[in-house]
Structure formats: structure tokens, C-alpha cells
């Protein structure tokens, strides 16, 4: 086994299917020890990996999509990132079927009708119907049942909605290359009757048609593996030809396999149901390095699969047939680095961080305060900002940005939090549309 570089380019923790219930953390929580041992295992690995850069969660943070469950998940992720010295902006999450409040699905004939309409289609008609629904006002209904997830995800810049069902984050590699992580939403038609037959999920071409750019390599996240998708063929074809690394959850099983020009990793579950016949809690660590050999450039990916040992009562390496605790892959990439820097500029990254913070603080306000704030900005009733929308805070932030009112929105949110003038307004230089005319 070759030694790692002194400091790897990027180290990512991949966890999935935690299934936090409202009872998590209490005395009788049997999984509390698992989570503690996971943290201890990561501390041990940091001694030779040197650092951790990001935590990615491929869905099912909650068990029933309830606010109390996401509050517990948020506190646990805070502890994890603080212990591992990971920035909050580098916690990356995508929703799973357990992050859906299914009570909202069954109570809404509108949501159920959209699910049935989409699932009745095939081939190009499936993509056209899904795109049309997402583009129409009714498309908001597909995200109503993950309102609590979105409130939770806002603090990490990972909330999703009909106009932006995926998010992206760039991480620099050496030699000017970039790893772009895209988090995709696979639960738009999720409900109580999900299965791998007539009631599959959908991603939609807009999510998996990754934009090729010089010097950019893709890592994608989604909860459901392709076998659970109505558009499985299209998703596999695009992702196998455009993504180097595909990360999934949902299956409560673990496997790593070649996938076109890259690899596909299904995480296993941190908290699988203890009634499952093959109960083995799992997670992964991925180490990425860009290397040069004989003027050729390679992306090296090392996966450290970790599993629970009932014998040793701790997490250990999951060895392959050769008794190695890692899986090593090397991919040839463009021979020359990009001619222009691909990562988003520091200014753009800073603005994105500030917008994520503003969105989170806006969502923390009571709904009546959010409405009062929108009224102050005279945004009620414009476009798709309706007071009864479940994603009201998200829509308000989006429309305020479109109309260049983020500076005013920031001041009002800080005022309603009782912290006016405590921080310099990062959006103070923006002007209203009417002031530009």
C-alpha cells in the first residue's frame, strides 16, 4: 500500500441513513453508543489522514420528517464537525424518503395526484411531464412534505425547491483542478408506497446532466441508487459518463463498484433497523488526490469503508478479498490543467456563505414575522410568493435576491432577531431594480 501524501487534497466523510427519532439521545437510546463510537473512529483515522474537509450525508437524517428529529440531527452534526474541525459550510446534505413528512403527502390530494401523473409516464414523456410540473406553480407541492428538512438544510446551504432541486459546492484540488459536489433530490414523488416497481422515484434530466467544464471533476450525492429511479437508464448513462464518484444511501447495504468513468458507492446505514437480518452499521471515508505521472494527470480516489464489529464493539476497516481495508482507484483526467481558474472566486464564495446564513436566520423566525417582513419589502403577492406556501422563507429569500433586496432583507432579519447593527451588512452595496432604471 502506497503511503498517502503528507496532506491529502481532500478528505470526505460519507454517512447515510441515520434515522434520528425524537427519542434520540435519551437514556434508552441504543444507538447513542454507535454514534459515539463513530466519532472515536474518525478521531483515530485523523491521526494518519491529517484532516477532514467535509461531511456528506446521502439522506434519511430523520425518521419521519419532523422538526424535532432535524433539531437532533443538527446538534449531532454540530458536535461532529466541531470535533473534526470542519467548517459548517462543508456539511452537505440531501433528502431521503425518511426526511419526507409522509403525513403531509397522504393528507394532500394535490400531492398524490402529481405523484400519480408523473409515475404514469415513461421515456421522454416522463421527462417532459416532470419538467412541466416543476416549472408550473403546482411544482411547489412536490416540496411541501420536506419543509422541515429544508429549514434544517438552509443552515448548510442545501435547501432545495422546484426552481433549484440540486445544489453545488466546489473544493480545490492541486494543479488548479476542482472537485464539484452536486447534491441531487430523489424524493420528489416519495410517499408511503415507494417501491422498486410502479412507485419508483425520479431525478429528472436537469439534475443528472452535469455541465462539463475544463478542470472540473464531479462527485454526486443522491439518496436513492439508480435501481430505484423511474429514469434509471438516463441517470445511469449521464452519471456514468460525467461523474467520477457517485454516492448513494437508502439500501442499508454497502457496495463499491466501477460505474462508467468512475465509481459508485452505496454507503450502508449508520443506524440500520436492528430487526434487519444483516444488521451492520457502516460509513465511509474518501480521500482524493490529484497526481502527475509522466506528464499525465490522474485523480486517485481511496475509499476507506468502515463497519461495526460486534466482536470488538467498535468500527473497523471492512477488508476486501485481499485483506486490504481500502479500495484504491485511479482515473486519467485531462493532460493539462484548466487555462482559467474553475473554482468560484473568493468573493462569490463569501457571498454564498452570507446568503446561506441569511436564509437560515430568516427560516428561524416565526411565520407571522416572515410575512410581516415580506410586507415591509412589498413582496407579498409578487411572482410565486404566497403566504400559505410551506417554503415561504425560501421563496422570500429567492425573490429578494432576484429583485436585489438582500441588503434590506438582511437589516430586517437582524432587527427581528434583536441584533441590528451587530454585523456589517454584506449586501449593503446591492441596489433595487427600480433604482437601476
Q: pLDDT by residue (tens digit) across 252-306?
A: 889 999 999 999 999 999 999 888 888 999 999 999 999 988 888 999 999 999 9
Q: What pLDDT is attached to residue 421? A: 56
Residues 93 and 152 in one domain: yes
- The band of 3, judged by pLDDT with boundaries at 50, 70 and 90, is low
Q: Domain boundary residue among 294, 309, 333?
A: 333
User: Over pLDDT 90: what percentage of the chain?
Assistant: 65
Residue 284, Cβ density class (10 Å: 0-12 exposed, 13-18 middle, ≥19 buried): buried
Q: Residues 20, 70: one domain?
A: yes
Task: Give a yes or no: residue 339 inside a domain.
Answer: no
Q: Is the pLDDT of residue 60 over 70?
A: yes
At residue 437, the pLDDT reads 40
Determine which of 335-339, 369-373, 423-427 has the lowest per-residue pLDDT on average.
335-339
Model pLDDT, residue 276:
87
Selected residue with higher pLDDT from 418 and 330: 330
Q: Which residue among 333, 357, 373 closes a domain? A: 333
Tens-digit pLDDT profile for residues 83-137: 999 999 999 999 999 999 999 999 999 999 999 999 999 999 999 999 999 999 8
Q: Are residues 295 and 360 in the same domain?
A: no
Tell me, yes or no, whether 1 lies in a domain: no
CATH code where residue 101 lies: 3.60.21.10
Residues with Cβ within 8 Å of residue 252, at least 6 apart in sequence? 17, 268, 269, 272, 273, 276
Contact 318, 280 (CB under 8 A): no
Residue 84, in any domain of the structure: yes
Task: Tell me the mean pLDDT in the region 214-221.
Answer: 96
At 265, phi and psi to the nearest 5? -125, 120
Q: Is residue 230 part of a domain?
A: yes
- The 10s digit of each residue's pLDDT in 330-362 is 999 986 655 544 445 445 555 666 787 788 788
Measured between alpha carbons, how far is 309 from 315 in angstroms, rounded to an integer?
A: 6
Q: Residue range 5-17: average pLDDT?
A: 91
For residue range 168-215, list pLDDT tens digits in order.
999 999 888 999 999 999 999 999 999 999 999 999 999 999 999 999
User: What is the reported pTM?
Assistant: 0.84
Final residue of a domain: which of 284, 302, 333?
333
The pLDDT of residue 382 is 63
Instruction: Answer yes or no: is 2 within a domain.
Output: no
236 and 367 share a domain?
no
Per-residue pLDDT band for 36 (boundaries 50, 70, 90) equals: very high
* Residue 120 lies inside a defined structural domain of this protein: yes
pLDDT for 430? 53
Residue 108 domain-assigned (yes or no):
yes
- Our count of domains for the chain comes to 2
Query: Domain residues for 423?
Result: 346-436
> Does residue 5 lie within any of the structural domains?
no
pLDDT for position 383: 57
240 and 96 share a domain? yes
Segment 384-402, tens digit of pLDDT: 666 666 678 888 888 888 8
Q: Are residues 114 and 189 in the same domain?
A: yes
Q: Does 154 share its domain with 190?
A: yes
Q: So what's the pLDDT on residue 433?
A: 44
Output the pLDDT for position 436.
Answer: 41
Residues 179, 246 within the same domain:
yes
Q: What are phi and psi of 168, to 5 degrees?
A: -135, 150
Task: Please check whether residues 327 and 375 belong to one and the same domain.
Answer: no
Please tell me whether residues 120 and 145 are part of one structural domain: yes
Q: What percent of the chain has pLDDT above 70?
A: 89
**What's the rounded Cα separation, in Å, for the pair 21 and 70?**
9
Which residue in the block uniquely carries the three cell numbers 430568516?
362
Residue 123: Cβ within 10 Å count: 11
Q: Specify whether 144 is located in the same domain as 206.
A: yes
* Same domain for 326 and 363: no
Amino acid at each position: 500500500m502506497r503511503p498517502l501524501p503528507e496532506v491529502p487534497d481532500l478528505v470526505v466523510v460519507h454517512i447515510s441513513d441515520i434515522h434520528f427519532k425524537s427519542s434520540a439521545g435519551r437514556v434508552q437510546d441504543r444507538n447513542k453508543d454507535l454514534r459515539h463510537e463513530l466519532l472515536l473512529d474518525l478521531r483515530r483515522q485523523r491521526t494518519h489522514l491529517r484532516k477532514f474537509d467535509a461531511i456528506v450525508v446521502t439522506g434519511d437524517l430523520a425518521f419521519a420528517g419532523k422538526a424535532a428529529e432535524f433539531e437532533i440531527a443538527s446538534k449531532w452534526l454540530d458536535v461532529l464537525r466541531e470535533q473534526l474541525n470542519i467548517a459548517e459550510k462543508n456539511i452537505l446534505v440531501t433528502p431521503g424518503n425518511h426526511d419526507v413528512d409522509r403525513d403531509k403527502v397522504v393528507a394532500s390530494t394535490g400531492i398524490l395526484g402529481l405523484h400519480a401523473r408523473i409515475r404514469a409516464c415513461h421515456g421522454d414523456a416522463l421527462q417532459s411531464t416532470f419538467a412541466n410540473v416543476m416549472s408550473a406553480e403546482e411544482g411547489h407541492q412536490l416540496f411541501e412534505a420536506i419543509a422541515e428538512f429544508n429549514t434544517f438544510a438552509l443552515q448548510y446551504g442545501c435547501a432545495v425547491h422546484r426552481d433549484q432541486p440540486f445544489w453545488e459546492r466546489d473544493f480545490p484540488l492541486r494543479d488548479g483542478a476542482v472537485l464539484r459536489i452536486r447534491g441531487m433530490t430523489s424524493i420528489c414523488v416519495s410517499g408511503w408506497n415507494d417501491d422498486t416497481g410502479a412507485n419508483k422515484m425520479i431525478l429528472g434530466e436537469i439534475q443528472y446532466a452535469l455541465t462539463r467544464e475544463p478542470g472540473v471533476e464531479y462527485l454526486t450525492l443522491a439518496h436513492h441508487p439508480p435501481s430505484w429511479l423511474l429514469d434509471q437508464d438516463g441517470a445511469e448513462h449521464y452519471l456514468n459518463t460525467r461523474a467520477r464518484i457517485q454516492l448513494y444511501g437508502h439500501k442499508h447495504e454497502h457496495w463499491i463498484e466501477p460505474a462508467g468513468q468512475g465509481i459508485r458507492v452505496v454507503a450502508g446505514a449508520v443506524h440500520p433497523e436492528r430487526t434487519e437480518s444483516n444488521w451492520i452499521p457502516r460509513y465511509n471515508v474518501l480521500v482524493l488526490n490529484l497526481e502527475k505521472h509522466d506528464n499525465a494527470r490522474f485523480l486517485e480516489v481511496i475509499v476507506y469503508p468502515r463497519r461495526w464489529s460486534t466482536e470488538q464493539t467498535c468500527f473497523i476497516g471492512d477488508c476486501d478479498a485481499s485483506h486490504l481495508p481500502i479500495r484504491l482507484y485511479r482515473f486519467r483526467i485531462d493532460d493539462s490543467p484548466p487555462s482559467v481558474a474553475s473554482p468560484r472566486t473568493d468573493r462569490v464564495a463569501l457571498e454564498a456563505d452570507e446568503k446561506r446564513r441569511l436564509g437560515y436566520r430568516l427560516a428561524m423566525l416565526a411565520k407571522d414575522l416572515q410575512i410581516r417582513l415580506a410586507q415591509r419589502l412589498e413582496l407579498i403577492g409578487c411572482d410565486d410568493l404566497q403566504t400559505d406556501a410551506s417554503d415561504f422563507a425560501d421563496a422570500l429569500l429567492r425573490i429578494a435576491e432576484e429583485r436585489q433586496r438582500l441588503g434590506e432583507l438582511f437589516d430586517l432579519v437582524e432587527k427581528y432577531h434583536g441584533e441590528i447593527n451587530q454585523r456589517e451588512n454584506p449586501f449593503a452595496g446591492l441596489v433595487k431594480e427600480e433604482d437601476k432604471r
